[in-house]
Structure 1
Amino acid sequence: MDLKVRQASDFGLFKLSCLHKQHQPMILVYKFLKESFLFAINALRTNVLRTILTLSGVTIGIFSIITVFTLIDFLEKQVRESIESLGDNVVYIQKWPWTPPEGESEYPWWRYMNRQVPSLDDYEQIKRRSQIAEDVSYVMSSQKMLQYESNSYDNVAVMGVSDGFDKIWTFEIAGGRYFSPYEANSGMGVAIIGAEIASELFQGTDPIGKRVKMMGRKLTVIGVLLRTGSDIFGNSLDKNIIIPVKYARNLFNLRSESVNPMILVKAKPGYTSDDMVDELTGVMRAIRRIKPQGDNDFALNRISLIQKNFDSLFDFIDWAGWFIGGFSILVGGFGIANIMFVSVKERTRIIGIQKALGAKRKFILMQFLIESTALSLLGGLAGLFIVFGIAMTISLATDSEMALTLLNILKGIGISSFIGVVSGFIPAWKASKMDPVEAINAL
């Protein structure tokens, strides 16, 4: 007797004995799954090239979709970390808004060009008048050259900040300390430098207590920032020098737009940025003495404006991944269906023997569905393995951590299983409806 026929006969007899005795249901399930997977493996071995070409569609599809999901997770993590470094629940008072007005698609820059920039007086007034602000800080920025003895560093990002900046902006001090309130408010010539500047100017020596020169003035280094690298927006404090803004006003014109002055306001716990915006709108209009009918001559920017734009971008990338991967999976699904139709035709006599021995239609149906699902899962797991390899390579080659999350693994397995069930259903249904006599006598 043919080996496949003998396997089918033994399997059918075993099933009948279990069904009649109504014993050992777990053994029956185990035997059922085992035999179904053995049939699937046999289908793979019958024509290896055909199987590889067929499963490659599922592999590429799962690879495309899960790669997009992994990339989105990675980018979202980078964006969130970058946004958190800009301050949580913080409102930025500036001359220019970050986005067009609500309901408008174009950016009307001509409305904003004659606005005045935030001033130190605005900052002091907000500190006095605001009821829900936990911290307020004035910040300006520019670029200058920094010198220490014979060493120099060009295009250093200079930040002049007021008291409270360390409570709003997220960063860590690797060595030394931050400004004291007295140093910040009196405008003393002290500075905190980035890790990159410390490395280049001091060549491995301790910079704390040393004096650097900028614009002909000497500043005492009291702290060094922890090295962080650049975030997704290109921001980094590694190449920055932070000085008290009341010292910076002796070097820079704070009323000039060239130093990008802004006021950062962080809300107290229990208050949202919307609450902060509502209050600051009234406070700033009162400070600037704007008439009730007049338009605001300031912008209140929030991180949520950036998040909305990135959410739209991520949604687009997500759909693009589904679209690209969907075509590959569709091709792979047709390939699996083709394999299953061939498998049903090759095992027609085995199906007839199983049905003659008492196998029910749902048993035959499930047998082929499990086989098609197993085939699809193999393709999906191959795609997941490729994504995992790429994520590990990127993580090892860069400072960024890209990981294939458990959720994305489950998505890949779920999609593969679904494609397997859908692709194998029609061939399985056709097999389950076969007449046992005609099937056994089939050539």
Structure 2
Amino acid sequence: MSERSTGAGPLTVLKEGVVIALEAIRANRIRAGLTILGVGIGVAVVVIMAALITGIRSSVLEAFESAGPENFIVVRFDFTAVLFDSGDGRPPWWDKPIITPEEAERIGRLSAIDEALYNFQFSTNIESGSQQLTNINGQGYSAGWPRYAQGDFVAGRDFTPAEVRESRAVVVISEALAIELFGQLDPIGKTVRLSSPFRDVRDDFRVVGVFLPDENIFSSAVEHWLVVPYTAGLKRLKADDSQSQILVVPDSTYTSSQSRDEVIAALRSARGLGPRDDNNFAILQSAQLVDSFNRLTGVFFLVMLALSSAGLLVGGVGVIGIMLISVTERTREIGVRKALGATRREILWQFLVEAGVLTMLGGAAGLIIGGTLAYATAHFTPIPARIPLWSVGAALASAALTGMLFGLIPAYRAARLQPVEALRAE
């Protein structure tokens, strides 16, 4: 038990409180350890989720930036704002017309547009000799698609406009897919068989290029993919083009708004829309996609914060338990301190400091756990997890606040003890 005079300075009281708190934790290692673990788990969840979201967001922004911040996409409907209940059982975009190759060609001839690439996605199986892979991500494209999908050809070339017009059976595959199918052999000129997993169609395609995309979170998530001329995808593989789109690269001499206005005017004219008719298509820019991603990750982060608060709640209940036991075990000590002149305020502060120290240790443990998990995630997965400084402050603040809030009840109980009754306690 430490003695001190009434009216000791706040730093002295704080220092004394920390020392007594550490002595109490050492005397009750198991109870204190469980409380620290509960708080640590809650803090670790906050830290690792902040690291994951920060890393993913930076990767997404880098990916959009590398693909061209001024580029935009013409789509059938704005999927970032779509509602799936229109009252009649069908989604509101159901009757919107499909984007066509002719519209892509029309946009490509505009003065403000450098290139307009028709595109759709499909799933395909691929065979080469005894190797067979299923549900490979395939895309039908116009010639010149590497201008939008940043990367380099490590072998071969892109298909030509003539090969697109003639629906040639040529294919560009990813480097990872080339290694999976051919190992160290040169894949250029080799024949692969593509087939639809949903339709009874198959055809032989000749490999003309191997493409390695710039490293980002998207390229790491899908390593096996292929690209064929969109005409070949439609004719030979009967690919579904209901969600086709046009990837637009504006001319650098025009502003982004000028390019979009020309595209909108051209499509409205081609589709015969009157002045009062709404657009039956949508234009998406990188900023819209980023905003949509931020909303999604924001909701996800709130859910994870709610889950992590459960861990802090468990730790808080542990704080109440251990501090109530501590007050009961140290009733006589409290009586002695009051007899020597300690005020209710000082006793209250003493036990709040003890509760705060307990949860701060839990916060430190959570930071270590979360930091270790973030490092392992960044090292062993494609996600570049980064711990933002604000998450460290938020984690420690939430841990300290948990200790203070849940420590109020036992601290108030200790402060209310009468010196005479406390001195009688055994």
**1:67-100 Cα distance to aligned partner (Å, 9 max, x none):** 5545544665676577668764543323455366
Residue 38, structure 1, aligned to residue 24, structure 2: no
How many pairs align? 413
Conserved in 1, the CA contact under 8 Å of 2:169 and 2:205?
yes
> Which piece of structure 1 moves more, 193-202 or 332-341?
332-341
Conserved in 2, the CA contact under 8 Å of 1:352 and 1:439?
no
Residue 377 of structure 1: aligned partner: 360
**1:167-193 Cα distance to aligned partner (Å, 9 max, x none):** 3234x2261365498778887886532
Conserved in 2, the CA contact under 8 Å of 1:225 and 1:238?
no
Q: Give 1:414 deviation, angstroms.
A: 0.9
How many Å separate the matches in 2 of 1:108 and 1:100? 18
Conserved in 1, the CA contact under 8 Å of 2:125 and 2:134?
yes
Q: Give 1:302 deviation, angstroms.
A: 5.2
- Equivalent runs, 1:390-409 vs 2, <5 Å: 390-392=373-375, 398-402=381-385, 404-409=387-392
Secondary structure of the residue aligned to 1:129 is coil
Residue 197 of structure 2: aligned partner: none
- Equivalent runs, 1:272-291 vs 2, <5 Å: 278-291=261-274
Q: Give 1:204 deviation, angstroms.
A: 0.9
Residue 193, structure 1, aligned to residue 173, structure 2: yes
Residue 165 of structure 1: aligned partner: 145
How many Å separate the matches in 1 of 2:87 and 2:55? 31
How many Å separate the matches in 1 of 2:182 and 2:379? 30
- Which residue identity is paired with 1:173? D
How many Å separate the matches in 1 of 2:84 and 2:391? 36
How many Å separate the matches in 2 of 1:430 and 1:272? 69
Secondary structure of the residue aligned to 2:109 is helix
How many Å separate the matches in 1 of 2:138 and 2:30? 63
The change in CA–CA distance for 1:39 and 1:88 in structure 2 (over 3 A counts) is same
How many Å separate the matches in 2 of 1:108 and 1:134? 40
Q: Give 1:326 deviation, angstroms.
A: 3.3
Q: What is the percent sequence identity of the aligned residues?
A: 23
Residue 405 of structure 2: aligned partner: 422
Residue 236, structure 1, aligned to residue 222, structure 2: yes
How many Å separate the matches in 1 of 2:127 and 2:109? 38
- Which residue identity is paired with 2:118? Y
- Which residue identity is paired with 1:263? I
Residue 118 of structure 1: aligned partner: 99
Residue 221, structure 1, aligned to residue 208, structure 2: yes
Residue 129 of structure 1: aligned partner: 110
Q: State which structure, 1 or 2, has the greater radius of gyration over its C-alpha atoms.
A: 1
> Which piece of structure 1 moves more, 51-60 or 181-190?
181-190
- Which residue identity is paired with 2:152? I
Secondary structure of the residue aligned to 1:376 is helix
**1:148-170 Cα distance to aligned partner (Å, 9 max, x none):** 67766666554343354223234
The change in CA–CA distance for 1:227 and 1:69 in structure 2 (over 3 A counts) is closer
- Equivalent runs, 1:22-421 vs 2, <5 Å: 29=11, 33-66=14-47, 68-70=49-51, 72-73=53-54, 76=57, 88=69, 90-95=71-76, 97-98=78-79, 109=90, 116-129=97-110, 131=112, 133=113, 135-142=115-122, 157-170=137-150, 172-173=151-152, 175-176=154-155, 179=158, 191-208=171-188, 210-212=189-191, 219=206, 221-226=208-213, 231=218, 236=222, 238-240=224-226, 242-245=227-230, 251=236, 257-258=240-241, 261-267=244-250, 278-294=261-277, 296-301=279-284, 310-341=293-324, 342-343=326-327, 345-352=331-338, 355-356=340-341, 366-392=349-375, 398-402=381-385, 404-421=387-404
Q: Give 1:40 deviation, angstroms.
A: 0.6
How many Å separate the matches in 1 of 2:358 and 2:312? 13
Conserved in 2, the CA contact under 8 Å of 1:229 and 1:238?
no
Q: Give 1:431 deviation, angstroms.
A: 5.9
Conserved in 2, the CA contact under 8 Å of 1:192 and 1:225?
no
The change in CA–CA distance for 1:128 and 1:159 in structure 2 (over 3 A counts) is same
* Unaligned runs of at least 5 residues, structure 1: 20-27
Q: Give 1:325 deviation, angstroms.
A: 3.7
